[in-house]
Structure 1
Amino acid sequence: MKLPSKPSRTTEANPKRGYTIQAVVRAASILNAFQSTSEVLDLRVVASRVGLHKATTFRLLETLVETHLLERAGKQGYRCCVQLARNKRYRIGYGSQTSLLPFTAAVSDGLVVAANNANIDLLVLNNALSPRVALQNADTFVSEKVDLVIDSQINVGIAAQIAVKFAAARIPFIAIDIPHPGAIYFGADNYKAGRMAGRHLAKWATKNWKNGPEQIILLGVDAAGPLLNARLSGVLDGIHEVSPTAHRIPTHHYDTKGGQFEATLDVVRRHIRRRAPERALIGAVNDSTALAALQAFREAGIERNCAIAGQDGSLAAREELRRRSSRLICSVAYFPETYGEQLIRLALDVLKHKPVAPAVFVQHELLTPQNVDKIYPNDTWMKSSPESI
């Protein structure tokens, strides 16, 4: 007769320990729901993250507030007051596009702050608008064995080479503004943003120029390939949409060597000397090129012969929009000051193997002299002086 076997001590996976206090376990799960001390969560989000009923979650939240481990943030939000030790401190590589453009500087500043708040080590390298440097930096990220890379480089010709390096090292990466094979794209819907600016340019010309524009100038970044210059395609289509006869107007496209101010200034100066524009609509790939074009027309004494649309919504562009009678008539804002927190949140989702979309599009909004103070009411509080023209 076969005797029954004794129960094995390993038959029950993860047995509960008799002295575990479930209320403490639940409170700890609430604290662990916060990824950093800067993150503000409402009741619904916390309950979803910890998998508890809202009523139970609410009681735990309020208890943790009373014990000063959490604090209330606004009417319905909560913020963690303690920096919890995590099982792993992630290390992320960030390849900055350049230190010369205000937009990129705003992205970099926000990313450094967000990484620090999330207890992440951030290795920052400057791609310097150079394909050679960007490739070297990719090698550095691989040799440093970072957990993930956030790359902002505009030379589409080396995108595949960079992608191969990270794929071979099994390092996930996020590409800002310019798609790379195998990367998660984070950036603008460039064509939509350009079309928004183009429509505004055409409407402005219809209202202010009796005979309409006599030429169109597009200032692009050819090294970035078709995606970034899709802003200019959008500008042109937006103009044609509002002014069906605009397709007969001569259009001049110029490369600005990475969207830099000085290079654009030289280009537009030469154009003014050769073409003597009387009514020129100008679509610029970013605010640096828009402001450079404005300076070229202004120093030639013919500012009233142009109307310019920028892209980025930079502080310098916002100050110019506030200037009476300026011919920078709009800029599309992308709010780069918000990129850092969004990028770190996306990076953590990737590292924790959560499902993420292959492309994350940022918010953009048309800034004009009429709405700039409403959208950016706190510019006058900023200590840094805007770039002058």
Structure 2
Amino acid sequence: MEEMSQRQLALLKIITLRKFCTISDLAERLKLSRETIRKELVPLQKAGILIRERGKIRFCDTQQNAALLESSGVLSKEQRQARILQLLTEDKEVRISTLATKLKVSVLTIRNDLSALELKGKVLRKHGSAILFEPSISQGSSSDFSEYSSRANILAKHSIMHIKPDDTVFLDGGEVSQCVASSLPPLTNLSIWTNNLMILDVLRKNRYAYPIQVTGSALSMEKQRFSLSNHQGLPNSLIINKAFICCSSYAGNTFFLSEDEDLATIEAVCRQAEKIYVILDSHFLDIQGKLPFPYKRYLAKIQEVLIDDGIGRYRASLLFSRQDPLIICGPDYTYRNVRKHQYRIGFLVNKDRNYFVQSVHNSLLEATSACKYVSLVIRECDGDYASAVQALNLLLQESVDLVIDYSLCMESLMYIGEKCLSHNIRLISVDYMAPGSIYFGADNACAGRIAGEQASHYINEHWNSSVDHLLVLGKFGYEPITKLRISSALEHLQKNVSRLPETIHTIEWGHPDINPTQALVKLLKQTPNEEPMLILAFNLRHLLASYELILQYRESTNTIIVGHNYTKQIEELMKIGHSPILGCVHYNPEAYGQNIMDLALRLLDGGTVQQRNYTTLTWIARKSNS
């Protein structure tokens, strides 16, 4: 048909919003005569846009007519929102102004549509644009790699990040707790409390070697719970460092426990817990449960409410209270809180979950938790250039005010530094220094000197200031931190030890052509046992991988190991028999988080900080050096 008149467009706007209209309805709404309305409707009927049946007028909803309405700017709200979703499906990201132009409506109307769609969990609004909301955690009940659901795996991963060696931890019977239990190595040195038989079974299958306690002596086989009766209670001396409480659903600002949970036990645990972590699967939002969890009673102890990214931030901000420390967890990121804070800090972190990285990660989470006006956005990377660059760009899309780079990727330092400078975003580099950044980490020259001093002292006192063999356990490739520590240690040894070997043996992990274990065994076999050997170990993994072989081929009286990256595992090894481990340089990763947060807040508040800032270095020695 020919171009529609303004009256016809006005009629269509009214008709498309209703199931049907009558001529009387239209005449009253537009303040026109019934005859005028009839004349305006006739061309629309002939064009097949409208259908008149028994005095009722309705829109003929075909693809062709929908396109006509779109080009005329008279789509109903439902039709317009459906068209927005279609356009976002066709293009990964669409500007709000582009949507307004295509749909012939105002930008304000599009923003209102996107708000409604975001509340339904269908889109995500960004700055000036929108994308389809696609949770990174699949809706499937299980993954190909685990008996637990993908959601449980992600929530368990983020839960484990809060657990430290020597903690006393409570795990309830939820799926996430079972996944946490299955992920704990047998020698984790945690004291675990539980009220669930399934947790005991998981730990038994995993051959967990440290204490496991149950909360009560009354056991219900039907519920598989250990329960507290009225006259019972948990030991008064018991301190639970961290309690993980899996909620079965959430509705009306109320968290619900599973119906078969023992509420008395959960309350007793929460009373004696220092920190509580509430865990919730987004699949069970808006579902009314039968057993409310007394959340507000323990709000002062609740550190985080962990939920998977099946929910967007906008919807979460409406469903949850402003007081809730909500953490949206995905495979590669976490939001400290969905609320708008004074500052948003981006944390780019390596996925490598060794002791040191995990301790730094934990400490930063705790420092953020103590700072109520900071939101922490976390992106993980694999430690290579491509993943570090991708993770940084995702952080920048989140409009963070400052970036903390703990990617541990030498190749990406230049890019990260230049990118943050170009966006006028302050940057803190952890352990590796990017251009233009503020550095926080170890004074590596000092760390090497401490190792050299301790080794020199022992050699002069016990080996007549003479060493026959010097072995360095390191990492293959250009790794400046290790090289700086080695050179600093050797410089001190050369100054303070009368005789060092001319040849320094190096065993490197990650070498493409050499098996480090075979190379180490060959070297140890060729070295006479009675000749003193000094071993410098600059990586925890390399030391642990070599320790049993060193014990097998070397006498401890003629062998000393100077280590870096002290952990509880190293401490345990130093306690066993005549350990050759002289001691270990300790970088105190547990203090990284607070120090980094102090630097970040000073930078964001416009204060000045030093270009280089160092963690406290200490020497942890074995109890006896004889």
8 A contact 1:220–1:255 mirrored in 2:
yes
Corresponding residue of 1:272? 524
The answer to whether 1:285 aligns with 2:538 is yes
Alpha-carbon distance in 2 for matches of 1:266, 1:153: 31
Q: Determine if the alignment matches structure 1 residue 203 to structure 2 residue 467.
A: no
Please tell me whether residue 114 in structure 1 is matched to residue 372 in structure 2.
no
After superposition, the Cα gap between the structure-2 partners of 1:265 and 1:305, relative to the gap in structure 1 and judged at 3 Å, is: farther
**How far off is 1:264 after superposition?**
6.1
1:214–1:249 Cα contact (<8 Å) kept: no
Match of 2:432?
A: 178
Q: Once the 2 structures are TM-superposed, how far is the Cα of residue 219 of structure 1 from its aligned partner? A: 2.6
Paired amino acid for 2:540: D
**Aligned pair partner of 1:340 in 569, 593, 601:** 593
Larger radius of gyration: 2
Which residue of the partner structure matches residue 39 of structure 1? none
Deviations 1:235-256 (A, max 9, x none): 111211221432x431123443
SS at match of 1:354: coil
> Compared with structure 1, are the counterparts of its residues 150 and 176 closer, same or farther at alpha carbon in structure 2 (3 Å cutoff)?
same
Look up the SS of the partner of 1:129 in the other structure.
Answer: coil
CA pair 289-123 structure 1, distance change in 2 beyond 3 A: same
- The residue aligned with 1:314 is 567
Alpha carbons of structure 1 residues 162 and 109: separation in structure 2 relative to 1, 3 Å: same
Amino acid at match of 2:403: V
Matched residue SS, 2:486: helix
CA 1:214–1:223: 2 relative to 1, 3 Å: same
Preserved CA contact (<8 Å) 1:229 1:285: no
Q: Residue in 2 aligned with 1:96? A: 349
Q: Which runs of 5+ in 1 are unaligned?
A: 1-81, 373-389
Q: 2:502 aligns with which of 249, 265, 268?
A: 249
Alignment correspondent of 1:147: 401
1:12-71 alpha-carbon deviations (Å, 9 max, x no partner): xxxxxxxxxxxxxxxxxxxxxxxxxxxxxxxxxxxxxxxxxxxxxxxxxxxxxxxxxxxx
Compare relative contact order (CA 8 Å, sep 6+) and give the higher one, 1 or 2. 1
Aligned residues between the structures: 284
Question: Which position in structure 1 is the counterpart of 2:420?
Answer: 166
Pairing of 1:1-389 with structure 2 (within 5 A):
88-119=341-372, 120-209=374-463, 212-221=466-475, 225-246=479-500, 248-257=501-510, 268-269=520-521, 271-272=523-524, 278-300=531-553, 305-370=558-623
Confirm or deny: 8 A CA contact 1:332 1:366 kept in the other structure: yes
What is the CA-CA distance between 1:275 and the residue it aligns to? Answer: 5.7
Normalised to the residue count of structure 2, the TM-score between the two structures is: 0.42
Normalised by the length of structure 1, the TM-score is: 0.65
3-state SS of paired residue (2:446): helix
Structure 1 CA distance for aligned equivalents of residues 478 and 436 of structure 2 = 17
Q: Deviations over 1:307-347 (max 9, x none)?
A: 11111222212222233311111101111111111111111
Tell me, what secondary structure is at the counterpart of 1:231? helix
**Alpha-carbon distance change, 241 to 98 in structure 1, aligned in 2, over 3 angstroms:** farther
Give identity over the alignment, percent: 24
Is the contact between residue 471 and residue 505 of structure 2 (CA under 8 Å) also seen in structure 1? yes
Using a 3 Å threshold, how does the CA distance of structure 1 residues 285 and 97 change in structure 2: closer, same or farther? Answer: farther
Q: Is the 8 A contact 1:187 1:361 kept in 2?
A: yes
Deviation for aligned residue 1:306: 2.8
**8 A contact 2:459–2:497 mirrored in 1:** no
Distance 1:296 1:341 in 2: 39
- Does the CA-based 8 Å contact 1:283-1:308 persist in structure 2? yes
Q: Which one-letter code corresponds to 1:342 in the other structure?
A: N
Q: Per-residue deviation at 1:290? A: 2.7
CA change 1:317–1:265 in 2 (3 A) is farther
8 Å CA contact 1:129–1:154 kept in 2: the answer is yes
When the two chains are superposed, the root-mean-square deviation of aligned CA atoms in Å is: 2.9
Native 8 Å contact 1:283 1:290 kept in 2? no
Moved more, 210-219 or 104-113: 210-219
